[in-house]
Amino acid sequence: MLPLLLLLVLTVSCGRKDRVDLERDFEKKLGNSVNLIYTQPERADSQFVALQQTLTDSSFWYRVEIFRGTCLLRRSDTLGAMRKYQKVAAWCEKNPRYNVTAGVLHNHLGVYNLLGGRVDSARHEFERAFELLDRDPKQSTLISTVLNLSDLCLQAGELPLAARRFRYALFLCDSLHDTRNRSGIHTGLAQIYMELQNFEEAHRFFAKAREEVETEDIYARFYFLTAFGNCLYFEHRYPESSSCFRQAYKLADEMNSDLDRFSCLTNLGELHLMMNDLKEAERYLHQSDSLANVISTLKSDSRFYVKSLMADLALLERGDTTLASSINLDSLPDRVSSLRYKILHYQRLERYAAEHGLWHNAWLFKTKATKFSDSLRSFSTHNSVAEMTMRFQRDTTLLHQRIMLADYKAKNVQQRNIILISLLVIIVLALLATLAMLIYRRRVSERFKKQMEKINGLRMNLVKNRVSPHYVFNALGTFLPKVKSFPEIDVPMELLLDVLRGNLLNSEQTAVKLDDEVDLVKKFLALYDLSHENHPTVSWHIDEQLLDCGIMIPGMAIQIPVENALKHAFPSPTPQNRIEVEVKKVDEKVCLRISDNGQGFDPGNSIQSVYDTGMGLKLLYRTLEILNEYNSQQATLTIENLQLPLHGTVVTICIPLDYDFERTYGEWGDRMR
């Protein structure tokens, strides 16, 4: 059960890993097409269509469809964009397990609502996207959602929450090795410290963002320039701030975004008001006011902002108070940006009244500006305390992590020591096992030698039982030349000498070549035919290919069964008696089959009976028994009587083609390992 569970876990892990790799490949394919959405939405859309034609994964196809909807949104086709979004939403509803695609959809819907001025709806969509995407395994699509959500918290004045989310986005970038969003994160953190009037810390993050922003998309560069320009404005570094907003305006032109143009023009108008450059201020503010009338989704505090600047311009240029008196401050929501707009508005009115000697009005405007400044300061103090608390918690968390790391290091040292001791124990056990193996091999080698000595003894006994072939062979060899004059006995004597020579050589070898054994048995049968008038008919069925391969078989493996058949199978031999010798290849084995139609094998057909049925069969059986101990594939010897109505005996010897006959013990030991 445990291996099955481990296999299941490994399969799921591999599946997750493959999916993460697919997601990364898909993100690479999106690549520059996403960046073109801001500047060339038509071209981006055509590239997305081409990409869809190469995709086989439905979730990726519908995710590209989301980006196509955003292309339509950038081209001001809100209805077309919504149709695309609804199409993807319907697919996600039918396929709820694709949470990444659904999360990307909600992120884009958040942008759609934000551009439409529906801030609360946008935040709801971003929260839903975060819920869907903030799951393991984390993916880079989560980072943009966290950034959007952090920016909304920043605009709402929820600085501690915004800081926490920006830092979470930074953690995701580090974990996922994502370098595309880092400048946006550092810019967001810089804005938080700018709101807290901690300009030193703000510039530290702006410096990090500046190093990274050039490699990111056009909107990231626009976001950095506007945020940095605001920081310089609050530090009263107006010329530097103006340079940032001019660069940002060029990027807004490239993106063809009226809302971004409006933001830059309004900021430039205010900067020139602060620098008393009324001509440039008028030019920028009139352009800004014209755009405000075109942008239907512009927020109320932005409309107030440009109207208050126009009123200030009228006061400074003509002393006209009509526009200033028509501004309704009560219509502004209680947000940080609205408080700042009110403060700036009353500060400009105070400056105008002071310049014209209207001291009472100047005092009233200063009182109102101070009131809103106190509210903003209280708000900033609250956020500063919250931010310090968050820092303390983060530092405490880091301290806990360091303590845990130190503990882990100590445990690692302990585990390393345990591993070293275990390795030493394993090495000692391995040495002991090697020593035991050597002792075992020596004992088996001695046993093997004894068995081979026993086999050689049996062979010698067989030779002795055949009336000392050495003596007979030598004696015949001395007077063979003398019988050359008698042709009738010349051939029998030659056959007799060949048979004796072959038997003598076979008795000294464990194995012989198949063709040598066949040749020897044929000579033995020819000699037998000359000495017996009535003799059985011997037929041969041999695969000729086997004779040419140098195949080895046990010595006398064919001769002994043939000789036993001649001696015992036919009490009164006739030509009708038959002995068949068949040699063939069966399942990577050489099979020797010697059969006869004689009276059968009396002692029975069990292998135990073979063991005691004569010296020749006993020797052959013992040879195979010993050699089988050192071969993984076994040689077999079987003797069986044919079933009625047939009669006779079949001896079958099967030898594997890769059977080893002559091995030293060391080679056998290597094979056993």
465/248: higher pLDDT: 248
At 378, is the pLDDT very low, low, confident or very high (cuts 50, 70, 90)? low
Please give the share of the chain, as a percent, with pLDDT higher than 90.
24
Give the contacts of 481 (CB within 8 A, at least 6 positions apart).
none
Answer left, alpha or beta for residue 76, where phi above 0 means left and psi between -120 and 50 means alpha: left
Express each pLDDT in 352-366 by its tens digit: 667 767 777 778 777
Tell me, what's the pLDDT at 86? 93
Helix, strand or coil for residue 536?
Answer: coil
Tell me, what's the pLDDT at 486? 64
Question: Of 237, 310, 317, which is closest to residue 271 (Cα–Cα)?
Answer: 237
What's the CA gap between 206 and 224, in Å, rounded? 8
What's the CA gap between 50 and 46, in Å, rounded? 6
Tell me, what's the pLDDT at 671? 39
CA–CA distances in Å: residue 158 to residues 124, 205, 293, 394, 503: 16, 19, 30, 18, 108
Angle between helices 218-234 and 258-274 (to 10 degrees): 20
Most confident segment among 571-580, 609-618, 652-661:
652-661
Helix, strand or coil for residue 174?
Answer: helix
pLDDT at 390 over 70: no
Rounded to an integer, the average pLDDT of 265-272 is 91
- In order of start, what are the domains of the chain with their CATH numbers? 509-672 (3.30.565.10)
At 475, is the pLDDT very low, low, confident or very high (cuts 50, 70, 90)? low
Rounded to an integer, the average pLDDT of 474-488 is 62
Question: Of 507, 422, 525, 493, which is closest to residue 461 (Cα–Cα)?
Answer: 507
Angle at 98 (CA atoms; ends 95, 104), nearest 5 degrees: 120
The neighbouring-strand residues paired with 553 are: 512
Side-chain-side CA neighbours of residue 234 (13 Å):
19
CA–CA distances in Å: residue 185 to residues 107, 154, 173, 213, 447: 17, 12, 9, 11, 80
Angle between helices 514-531 and 487-506 (to 10 degrees): 140
DSSP string, 410-425: HHHHHHHHHHHHHHHH
pLDDT at 464 over 60: no
Tell me, what's the pLDDT at 485? 61
Rounded to an integer, the average pLDDT of 190-207 is 89
349/213: higher pLDDT: 213
The token duo for 418 is 């345990």
